[in-house]
Structure 1
Amino acid sequence: MRRIFKHTYLRQRFFIVLITIVLGFLASFMVKDVFGAFKILFYLFVLLLIIDLLLLYGSKGQLVGKRLVPDKLSNGDENQIEIELSNEYLFPIGVKIIDEIPFQFQKRDFGLQSHLVSAESKSYAYTLRPTERGVYSFGNLNVFASSPIGLIARKYTFDNAHEVPVYPSFLQLRKYDLMAFTNRLFQYGLKKIRRIGHTMEFEQIKEYIPGDDIRNINWKATAKKNQLMVNQYQDEKSQPIYSVIDKGRVMKMPFEGLNLLDYAINATLVISNIAIKKHDKAGMFAFSNKVENRVVAERRSSQMNLILETLYNLQTNFVESDFGRLYVDIKRNIGQRSLLLLYTNFETLDALHRQMGYLQAIAKQHLLVVIFFENTELTSFAEKKAENVRQIFEQTIAEKFVYEKKLIVNELQKHGIQTLLTKPENLTINTINKYLEIKARGLL
């Protein structure tokens, strides 16, 4: 009996009926003729309560449920969580679902309500968008079932408590993996890059078909075959592509829930996968006051899993990044000319000038692309209409910082360093465009 009451909850309808009966009894002291009627109502209420208890606890039926969670969640994306319920009662029931989702989401009013007829099974789905990597703990799945009478509800607890890791955005990786090798590229913002000439990597001699570049006609083969033959070239393969992630304090700045480090991590995962699919070698490393989290550029089958696990454990620290140590490490450990995609952030020209010497030294040996971020909040603030003198002053300061970002781009380009200034949310697509542009123009 104690167990029954422990899992029984009084519904709002119960209190409404009970309060109505109590008020009726109080009113009957003034109007004697209605006392008998309310007495009958009270006995009927008790009878219905007993029947409700018997329906939920005395019958053989029950409610069966479970939560379906992916093995891992994708950071910064909407991840679908499913709840499956089956009504094994002989009558329809109402259900209220309260799922104990991880505390990181700070959703304290989460709940779903529905109805299930007898022998019916239903699936309910909701989405969660994590903004931090790490382990997330789900609690129990609590479901309250009520009969058609609806005075009480029986609590079912499905012990699905378990932990789920949140990894860098593998959903984004799958999306761009499909886009990069279909004809739907341009629908998602990928630019069509005009190919300048061709690379020097020869693939084969083939028969000429309309549309082939007539400059590639192989006259010796044409004479032997007595038909037009052309040389076919392909992009140079097995070029090392390194994502270099600054994990110093400048990458802690948040935008739309994610900090800049996580935007860089998600972009690194995608560009590494595309580089491998394009037959290049993908690698990565991170730095702040020292260089670590290194994955040597390779094109083996296990490379993406290795990069994913390394990115999962990457965390920002609050120290000043040492570009001098970065230069020494690159010179010592990367002998072959490589494409270095450096994810960092510069807010002022002074910050850039302190590191310019090291960036120039790196760019002499490798193709360096400095990728940094627009401050979208400052840009939005600067574009608002000012309503008083104070706002005019604040917007003037904001415009100065926005303009200084453009000066940083010009300063880097003046020294022959490739540059990409992007909004955080457009980082991945713009990085892909930059990589494809470099490959098309044979810059590496």
Structure 2
Amino acid sequence: MIYPTPRAVALVAAGFPVALLPALVHPRLWGLWLVAAALSAIAIGLDALLAPAPRGVSMEIDVPGQLPIGEAGAARVSIAGVRGARALEVLADLHADLAPQPVRGIQPGPDGRAELEIPLLARRRGRPTVDALWLRWQGPLGLAGRRRRVEVARAISVVPNLRPVRAAAFRYFGARELSAGVQVERFLGDGSEFEALVEYVPGLDPRAISWKASARHRELLCQEFRAERNHQVVLALDTGHLVAEPLEGVPRLDHAVSSALLLAYVSLRLGDRVGLYAFDRAARAWAEPQGGLGSFARLQTLSAQLAYSTEETNFTLGLAELSTRLRRRSLVVVFTEFVDTVTAELMIENLSRLARRQLVVFVSLRDPGLDAAALAAPHRVGDVYRSVVAADFVRERERVLARLRRMGIQCVDAAPGQVSAQLVNRYLDIKRREQIA
């Protein structure tokens, strides 16, 4: 398709009044504007003929097969056959789950080839597609433009982002320990599981003295304990409509999945057994708790398959179903979301029922924008209304969390960038204190 460029429109618009000036000198010179119009049309047509034909333009695109959510990737595009063109522009036609990209301009080389990268940023998990590429270029004079649509139809698998998991794992364990398989945190001195016999020195608990071992070795020996392993940790993920809402550009569910995978990795490294449960209106996924780092891949695959739901979460059915699947006391980490005290009543009731037999940790994501709106200095009347409403939501949120804490439920309520670290630290503290047994 051939179309006039803004330069051509400006040339015609500027030349038309100039061509009419001779008519002001003599009426018989009015036809000169026809000559000017014809010359403009000839210049535009000549520029269109000199521009590369769409049939001679070829394109190759390399789309990544997998993309972590929230991380930027790139599609590499190679274009050939645009020799002599100027102002080459490329626009990617992307699926709605990929962030839209602006038109990108590039100058072709002398050989008529051009290469560029189109950023790809996934907003949700799934298999979004790069549908097509629009190419637009101008002739040598910049008066006529041509365009071509190239079908792509390439799908990208958007998976949970494991980079924060790896980074935090190295931070908690260290590169040397990860490669050697050494257990870093053993919680020596805490817990109830026997670790070793050590020589008694002043300052040790006299109650830990082993009199039989001391008699055998004829020296005063003291028992050293460590935190018990082989506990059962269950990650319960709410997949209802509230957690499908975006927070900082990523759905809340995906923030929860990243935090859950990090906790799963740390728990498996420390010898516990980890399972996964997902629910909204009904149970959606279940993985029996298993130990060993080999089961981490199973949890990763299952969490990547969790779908975004538009259903209202049924806490009564979901948590009751989870209770029937747990045959021993476990640490149940519930990732969910609520709006206010009214909508949270059923959630609180069922969490309290679950906490009678299990140790429950409640995890929710705090919206930094809501806190900022509540504390923002008002400049207009609308700002006052907004601040008051935001402050009401913050207060109701604190009321719900306070009620849960009074029931013995441990709460982690933090911004997306802080929730993973706080959750792991809470788990380590629970394990050190032997609260699961």
TM-score (norm. length: structure 2):
0.73
- Judged with a 3 Å threshold, the aligned counterparts in structure 2 of structure 1 residues 25 and 277 are, in CA distance, closer, same or farther, namely farther
RMSD in angstroms over aligned alpha carbons? 4.8
- Judged with a 3 Å threshold, the aligned counterparts in structure 2 of structure 1 residues 49 and 371 are, in CA distance, closer, same or farther, namely same
Partner of 1:241: 233
Partner of 2:144: 152
For 2:119 and 2:12, locate their aligned partners in 1 and report how far apart those are by CA, in whole Å: 39
- Judged with a 3 Å threshold, the aligned counterparts in structure 2 of structure 1 residues 397 and 53 are, in CA distance, closer, same or farther, namely closer
For 2:12 and 2:378, locate their aligned partners in 1 and report how far apart those are by CA, in whole Å: 59
Pick from 418, 427, 433 the counterpart of residue 426 of structure 1: 418
- Judged with a 3 Å threshold, the aligned counterparts in structure 2 of structure 1 residues 149 and 354 are, in CA distance, closer, same or farther, namely closer
**Residue deviations 1:85-131, cap 9 Å, x none?**
34556657431111112235684x83011212213765433434433
Partner of 2:106: 114
Unaligned runs of 5+ in 1: 1-5, 184-192, 207-212
Answer whether contact 2:47 2:143 (CA < 8 A) is retained. no
Partner of 1:186: none
- What is the 5 A alignment of 1:96-245? 96-104=89-97, 107=100, 110-119=102-111, 123-182=115-174, 197-199=189-191, 236-245=228-237
Identity %: 18
Partner of 2:76: 83
Partner of 1:209: none
Pick from 43, 46, 52 the counterpart of residue 50 of structure 1: 46
Matched residue of 2:122: which SS?
coil
- What is the 5 A alignment of 1:244-283? 244-248=236-240, 250-251=242-243, 254-283=246-275
For 1:219 and 1:63, locate their aligned partners in 2 and report how far apart those are by CA, in whole Å: 88
Pick from 283, 302, 321 the counterpart of residue 291 of structure 1: 283
Matched residue of 1:65: which SS?
strand
Residue 370 (1) aligns with residue 357 (2):
no
**One-letter amino acid matched to 1:335:** R
> 1:254 Cα shift?
4.8
- Judged with a 3 Å threshold, the aligned counterparts in structure 2 of structure 1 residues 42 and 176 are, in CA distance, closer, same or farther, namely farther
**One-letter amino acid matched to 1:94:** A
Matched residue of 2:94: which SS?
coil
Matched residue of 1:84: which SS?
strand
For 1:230 and 1:63, locate their aligned partners in 2 and report how far apart those are by CA, in whole Å: 81
**Residue deviations 1:121-179, cap 9 Å, x none?**
65433434433333323221122233433333343443212333433334544544454
> 1:283 Cα shift?
1.9
**One-letter amino acid matched to 2:336:** T
> 1:214 Cα shift?
8.9
- What is the 5 A alignment of 1:401-420? 401-420=393-412
**Residue deviations 1:214-251, cap 9 Å, x none?**
99999999xx9xxxx99998765543321112334554
Answer whether contact 1:87 1:117 (CA < 8 A) is retained. no
- Judged with a 3 Å threshold, the aligned counterparts in structure 2 of structure 1 residues 27 and 274 are, in CA distance, closer, same or farther, namely farther
For 2:223 and 2:116, locate their aligned partners in 1 and report how far apart those are by CA, in whole Å: 58
Partner of 1:69: 63
For 1:265 and 1:361, locate their aligned partners in 2 and report how far apart those are by CA, in whole Å: 25
Partner of 2:182: none
- Judged with a 3 Å threshold, the aligned counterparts in structure 2 of structure 1 residues 177 and 30 are, in CA distance, closer, same or farther, namely farther
For 1:155 and 1:297, locate their aligned partners in 2 and report how far apart those are by CA, in whole Å: 56
Answer whether contact 1:202 1:233 (CA < 8 A) is retained. yes
For 1:134 and 1:70, locate their aligned partners in 2 and report how far apart those are by CA, in whole Å: 14
For 2:255 and 2:361, locate their aligned partners in 1 and report how far apart those are by CA, in whole Å: 17
- Judged with a 3 Å threshold, the aligned counterparts in structure 2 of structure 1 residues 304 and 235 are, in CA distance, closer, same or farther, namely farther
**Residue deviations 1:385-428, cap 9 Å, x none?**
35688976775565454234334333333332222122345333
> 1:293 Cα shift?
1.0
- Judged with a 3 Å threshold, the aligned counterparts in structure 2 of structure 1 residues 141 and 250 are, in CA distance, closer, same or farther, namely closer
Answer whether contact 2:4 2:143 (CA < 8 A) is retained. yes
Partner of 1:190: none
- Judged with a 3 Å threshold, the aligned counterparts in structure 2 of structure 1 residues 245 and 217 are, in CA distance, closer, same or farther, namely same
For 1:360 and 1:104, locate their aligned partners in 2 and report how far apart those are by CA, in whole Å: 37
For 1:220 and 1:34, locate their aligned partners in 2 and report how far apart those are by CA, in whole Å: 123
Answer whether contact 1:65 1:83 (CA < 8 A) is retained. no
**One-letter amino acid matched to 2:153:** A
For 1:142 and 1:386, locate their aligned partners in 2 and report how far apart those are by CA, in whole Å: 45
**One-letter amino acid matched to 1:10:** P
Partner of 2:325: 333
> 1:438 Cα shift?
3.0
Unaligned runs of 5+ in 2: 176-184
**One-letter amino acid matched to 1:420:** V
For 1:87 and 1:329, locate their aligned partners in 2 and report how far apart those are by CA, in whole Å: 59
Q: Which moved more, 1:345-354 or 1:414-423?
A: 345-354
Partner of 1:95: 88
Answer whether contact 1:100 1:141 (CA < 8 A) is retained. yes
**One-letter amino acid matched to 2:49:** L
Q: Which moved more, 1:248-257 or 1:338-347?
A: 248-257
Answer whether contact 1:370 1:417 (CA < 8 A) is retained. yes
Partner of 1:319: 312
For 1:105 and 1:281, locate their aligned partners in 2 and report how far apart those are by CA, in whole Å: 36
Answer whether contact 2:279 2:313 (CA < 8 A) is retained. no
Partner of 1:10: 4
For 1:152 and 1:230, locate their aligned partners in 2 and report how far apart those are by CA, in whole Å: 90
- Judged with a 3 Å threshold, the aligned counterparts in structure 2 of structure 1 residues 321 and 17 are, in CA distance, closer, same or farther, namely same
